[in-house]
Structure 1
Amino acid sequence: MTYYEDYGPDRTRTLGPEPTLHEPVSITESELGAWTEVRGHARLHESEIGDYTYLMERVQLDYATVGKFGNVAADARLGPTNHPIDRPSAHHFTYRTAMYDLGEDDDSVFEWRADQPVEVGHDVWIGHGAIVLPGVTIGNGAVVGAGAVVADDVDPYTVVAGVPAEPIRRRFSTDVAERIEATEWWHWDHETLAERVGAFRDIERFLAAFAPEDGRQRGQTDA
């Protein structure tokens, strides 16, 4: 295994089709796509990450789906579990009851949590320490600033930041975003990505090769 020297001895340089896990991690009832990486002390519960998505250290996902090519920075949390504050007590003894030898657990709380999933699109960057609250949907190509608390849905290719998070600018103009979206490049296979990776280093080159002005996908054009 090879490492990036400038990022310390535990930063991998090469990944493979099988998920790369840096122990310790906690993964329960979750699915990981190809070429994914999960850094140490991350936790996934009833969640899914798409191909090429990586989770940095101490990321927590609960009832969350992250699309392909997701970039999730350290200490981010998606879908943090809510407490039922309409009860006399918000403490989890009222539903994790068996833990305290007080009777049977209340499964309705866990069902309630699962009914508020987080949905994150493809090519989304979640910044360091950001929190995405239950029930939020984040569109393709969006960016969430470090430390943001996202309580409302985020439109595709929109940059949000702050507490609560608010739009601060668009990543691309509406026209450019639509052209990129039309390519659905995140579904290209590994071989195609290898052939076309050069175009991903220059937006104008990418648009010219794969995203014509009329928005129709040009799937066979060489990069």
Structure 2
Amino acid sequence: MAETNDPRLMNEQPRIHPTAQLKGVKLGKYAEVGERVILRDVTVGDFSYLERHSEGIYADIGRFCSIAANVRINALEHPMERLTMHKVSYRPNEYFRFQGIDNGFRARRQAKRVRIGHDVWIGHGAVIMPAVEIGHGAVIGANAVVTRSVEPYMIVAGSPARMIRPRFPQAIATRLLELAWWDWPLDSIFEAIPDIQSLSIEDFLAKWEGHRPGS
């Protein structure tokens, strides 16, 4: 987003709880990381937040995402094809001298990044498995285990997660994807907030499609 000195805006710096643990993390403007959140090699887009005790590794999170407490993004994969699934096979250095980390297994994990679109809501205790992609505007129900990619504006829940229903009819979802409001400059989002609060989705689209930023 473009830089702005608009006095209506709060401090754009990310808010990070002092108990959070971050390594190799890139946070966008206004992003928020809650109590005891653990992130490794994760990007977090502008305005997205993670509530307490959530964890993520090897993941890219879009803008305006709402991630509840105790969510696990890119849950650990164990090598089931090996003699043992225990970490002694891929992190033997924790038990034996002169044994290094299995870099091949680490590379395998890194290759299975999770990609989360913009304006995604992930409910309390959900688990997102490796290599899953979650489309813009999707909803992941509480305690869901997401093993497959999720289409934009789809609501899924359960273990394993299955489709419950779309948030909006397909025609509306397509228009929202074209609107891409999450890419608007901040002053336009500020201006749109009263309409977001008061208009139906159809009326909002009818008003803003015609004079959206850049149109």
Aligned-partner SS, 1:44: strand
Q: Give the conservation status (yes or no) of the 8 Å contact 1:180–1:211.
A: no
Name the Cα RMSD after superposition: 1.6
Map of 1:199 onto structure 2 = 195
Residue 135 of structure 2 is aligned to residue 139 of structure 1: yes
Counterpart among 103, 109, 120 of residue 107 in structure 1: 103
Number of aligned residue pairs: 203
Q: Give the conservation status (yes or no) of the 8 Å contact 2:188–2:213.
A: no
Residue 101 of structure 1: how far off its partner (Å) = 2.1
Map of 2:4 onto structure 1 = none
Residue 72 of structure 2 is aligned to residue 74 of structure 1: no
Q: 1:175 to 1:17 in 2, by over 3 A?
A: same
- Report 1:19-168 matches (<5 A): 19-102=14-97, 103-168=99-164
Fraction of identical pairs, as percent: 36
Residue 219 of structure 1: how far off its partner (Å) = 1.8
What amino acid maps onto 1:204 in structure 2?
E
TM-score normalised according to structure 1 size: 0.87
Map of 1:219 onto structure 2 = 212
Q: Any gaps of 5 or more consecutive residues in structure 1?
A: 1-13, 213-217
Q: Deviations over 1:69-89 (max 9, x none)?
A: 000000011101211111111
Q: Deviations over 1:175-221 (max 9, x none)?
A: 11111111111011222211111121222332121236xxxxx4259
Q: 1:220 to 1:111 in 2, by over 3 A?
A: closer
TM-score normalised according to structure 2 size: 0.90
